Chains A and B, each alone.
Chain A
């Protein structure tokens, strides 16, 4: 089966700095990856996705990088803001396997 794991359970960054959240996956055949953001008291919300035929995808202030060689993906948040404080999950196809999440705290 598939499994995912985030490298750090917690991450603290200064407001305005860039954040990098990492995730490893186990199945080299995985072809679709999603990042979710879960704010306190809410369910996870879609941030950005990437398919295995891409190495990089950019959204608004977020970038996802995929390294298929080492089965690793990362989420980069530019100019981190207090509203980015949340738990971040990576998920792989069939989307039923989530990591334990990385809790991002933005320090004003």
Chain B
């Protein structure tokens, strides 16, 4: 069974731009979560989607948004990029909502200049 895939793997953007990251979960998994990882803050939860609905949300500004499609694939968008948004963005999928082991993708490394 194929693992979680994320595209693109690397991205360089300029302040003020917006970016869209994509995540394809493991086949059959309906929950997709997004995390931001930085050296200083560690692994921070952004949001979780299940059956195309956002079920949980972390403490991030409204510039960070996401969505999930009927095939469980998910995208996250960051608008008006700031230098501090430079991070590794990880996507994880699991069979159900909460309480399940998560399977992480390799991440998208976003650099904002």
Flag if B42 contacts A99 (CB, 8 Å).
Answer: yes
In the complex, besides A36-B104, A89-B43, 10 extra interface pairs with C-beta distance below 8 angstroms are A32-B99, A42-B106, A43-B4, A43-B104, A44-B92, A94-B56, A95-B100, A96-B33, A96-B48, A100-B42
**How would residues 67 to 108 of chain A score, 1 for a CB under 8 Å from any chain B CB and 0 otherwise?**
000000000000000000000010001111111110000000
Measured CB to CB, the closest approach of chain B to A57, in angstroms, equals 14
Flag if A94 contacts B104 (CB, 8 Å).
Answer: no
Whether A49 sits at the interface, judged by CB under 8 Å, is: yes
Provide the residues of chain B in CB contact with A10, threshold 8 Å.
Answer: none
**Complex: how many Å from CA A98 to CA B92?**
13
**How would residues 30 to 66 of chain B score, 1 for a CB under 8 Å from any chain A CB and 0 otherwise?**
0001010000011111001000000010100000000
Flag if A94 contacts B99 (CB, 8 Å).
Answer: yes
Residue pairs across A and B with CB atoms within 8 Å: the count is 53
Whether A41 sits at the interface, judged by CB under 8 Å, is: yes
Interface residues of B (CB under 8 A from A): 4, 33, 35, 41-45, 48, 56, 58, 90, 92, 94, 98-107
**Complex: how many Å from CA A99 to CA B45?**
11
Flag if B58 contacts A43 (CB, 8 Å).
Answer: no
Flag if A49 contacts B45 (CB, 8 Å).
Answer: no
**Complex: how many Å from CA A98 to CA B44?**
7
Given contacts A42-B106, A43-B90, A46-B103, contact A93 B43 (CB under 8 A): no
Whether A45 sits at the interface, judged by CB under 8 Å, is: yes
Flag if A45 contacts B100 (CB, 8 Å).
Answer: no
Q: Closest residue to B92 on the A side, CB-wise?
A: A43
Flag if A44 contacts B98 (CB, 8 Å).
Answer: no
21 residue pairs of the A-B complex, CB under 8 angstroms, read A32-B99, A36-B104, A42-B106, A43-B104, A43-B105, A44-B43, A44-B104, A45-B104, A46-B101, A46-B102, A94-B56, A94-B99, A95-B100, A96-B33, A96-B45, A96-B56, A96-B58, A98-B35, A98-B44, A100-B42, A100-B43
